[in-house]
Structure 1
Amino acid sequence: MTLRHAAFAAAAAMLLMGPAHAAELEKLWEIDGLKQPESALYDASGGVIFVSEVVGDMRAKDGDGQISKVSPEGKVVQSGWVKGLNAPKGLGLSGGKLYAADIDELVEIDVASGKVTARHKVEGAVFLNDIVTDGAGRVYVSDSGTNTISVLESGEVKPWLRNDRLNSPNGLAIEGDAMVVASFGKPAAAGQEAVPGFLVEAPLSGDSVRTLGDGSPIGALDGLVVLGGGKYLATDYIKGGLLRIDQSGSFETLAPLPSGTADLSYDPQTKTAFVPQNKEGKLTAFRIP
């Protein structure tokens, strides 16, 4: 057989086999009956998933909010592990403390005891949303209502970055020397349609903001995690869904979930995403291909 004939035979064989298919998303488990879960945070060292539950109005200071514990295998370990919060959303871990974004406060919780050890007021905050921590003990929190990211450092909260180009910042993730931000965009208002958000990026110096990719609308972005290799996982709160976004701005929907898909967490060792569905009262685990 000549080289030309061999190449033709190989091409014909590929056509007979049909197109290659990407690996499908695998749903591992799902918990229901949660009370408006907004954020999930996987703690590898403790072998647990912390879940914030709003339990009511997203903006109400009613003391009904709580944080529960769930196992990585999909079992509720302790419902209401921490109670007496208002409307807790994003969660972050640093130095044995769990931090919760609670409307206009960063609530500090001792992980070992489950006791609230401090409530850090964020002056001027309207709607604190997501949290990310760095290796130096700093705790960053987004305020979707004021286009601001604040930082807690050495017991003091101060603005880290305030810029309208943050476009209602929600999900936060640190990648190298930059902060990547999932913007919620502009919700629908009287006589105006909603304008979906996209990813933006700021150096950790906090002195500028730039669009990550071409700035094409993606969705009302909520949670955000870094996959590596220029890829990110995010959720769309309004339309719903688990998304994989490329640094160029292109994206694909991995799972068409309902409206209310919120702040996810990710275990890179098992390639598992833990995705809260706020309006459905569910937490779902997916294996990411």
Structure 2
Amino acid sequence: MKSTTIKLGLLGLFAAFFFANCASPKTEETTEEVVIEEVKTPTLTKIWETDTTLTTNESVLYDAASGKIYVSNIEGDPQGEDGKGSISIIDKEGKVVNQNWVTGLNAPKGMGIANGNLYVTDIDQLIEVNLESGKISNKYPVEGGQFLNDLATYDGKVYFTDMNTGKVHLLDGGKISTVTEGHESINGIAIGEDGMLYVLDKTGMKSLQADGTSMILNDVVTGGDGLVILGDGNYVASRWAGEIYFVNSDGSETLLLDTKNAESNTADIGFIPGDNIVLVPTFFKNKVVAYKLDY
């Protein structure tokens, strides 16, 4: 009996050892590294400003072909036909190159370049200026025009807004027509690479479809003044009172600049692509201020 007990005990130890070693192998613990991509907040950094000789400057336009920056100066009443308005030229460092490149205008506002000409809105007419000579080559009265404001060009065509009538007009082949209407307090206008119109009015920033319908892209930047298309669904928009916004592709916005307390306006902004410089006409402060945009 003693011998049998010893054998059974050895057999039990063997079995325990066997099953312990045949059990499922222990897996190594693994940890997943989660990478959180930092979302960069867009910013504006001031880099220069002009002298205060650009009286009541309303709009700034950069010409990539020449490197010149055109500035429209109201100088008098924004709605007055007083002949005091002018267009100046400044360079990319903020130096005023030609204070009185074009004179004798009334209340010039939005500008655009097409067909070798600079076009500028002037209350109730569209002015055409030859880029080489700086001479006014044509004037296009707009029937029923009241407060022509911002302007954009595309494929040789000139589109411009009338803030009082809520219309977008078109100059094409020497003739003016109305593209769309019913946009209360419309001002800023820009055109995408595909020819799509984007505008700023009382409802915010929106796109205008070919069938006449519109889609609101952002409802915070209401009553906007200047509009720049950056690409990839991103935009920069200004409000005259002293605000500049970055609008993302998802329609959300970031306030880039607020100069209301300084009583410095942010009217119809311009943009230098490549350098990512936003050009801000300050209206009553009589100067243009340049900011570097990082986004």
TM-score (norm 2): 0.83
1:179-232 deviation digits (Å, cap 9, x = unpaired): 00011x2xxxxxxxxxxx4112113x4x3132333x533233000010111111
**Aligned-residue RMSD, C-alpha:** 2.2
- Asked whether the equivalents of residues 205 and 219 of structure 2 are also in contact (C-alpha less than 8 Å), the reply is no
Query: CA offset at residue 247 of structure 1?
Result: 4.3
Tell me the residue number matched to 1:226: 229
- Fraction of identical pairs, as percent: 35
- How far apart, CA to CA, are the structure 1 residues paired with 2:205 and 2:280? 19
1:235 aligns with 2:238: yes
Partner of 1:171: 188
| Residue correspondence of structure 1 range 65-104 to structure 2 within 5 A | 65-104=85-124
Give the one of 197, 204, 212 matched to 1:198: 204
Q: d(CA) in 2 for partners of 1:138 and 1:86?
A: 23
In 2, Cα distance between the equivalents of 1:92 and 1:168?
20
Which letter does structure 1 place at the counterpart of 2:215? T
| Aligned-residue offset at 1:139 | 0.5
| Consecutive unaligned residues in structure 2, runs of 5 or more | 1-27
Displacement of 1:168: 1.7
Report what 1:192 is aligned to.
Answer: none
Deviation >3 Å, runs of 4+: 1-4, 19-24
The residue type equivalent to 2:173 in the other structure is S
Q: 1:245 aligns with which of 241, 244, 247?
A: 247
Tell me, yes or no, if the aligned pair for 1:61 and 1:87 is still in contact at 8 Å. Answer: yes
Matched, 1:111 2:128: no
The one-letter amino acid of 1:80's match is: N
Check the 8 A contact 1:67/1:81 in 2, yes or no. yes
Structure 1: how far apart are the matches of 2:104 and 2:196?
34
Name the TM-score, length of structure 1 as normaliser: 0.84
Q: Is the radius of gyration larger for structure 1 or structure 2? A: 2
Q: How many residue pairs get matched?
A: 262
Asked if the contact 2:187–2:223 (Cα under 8 Å) also holds between the matched residues in 1, the reply is no
**Mean Cα deviation higher: 38-47 or 216-225:** 216-225
Find the counterpart in structure 2 of residue 194 from structure 1: none
User: What amino acid does structure 1 have at the position aligned with 2:278?
Assistant: A
- Aligned amino acid, residue 283 of structure 1: V
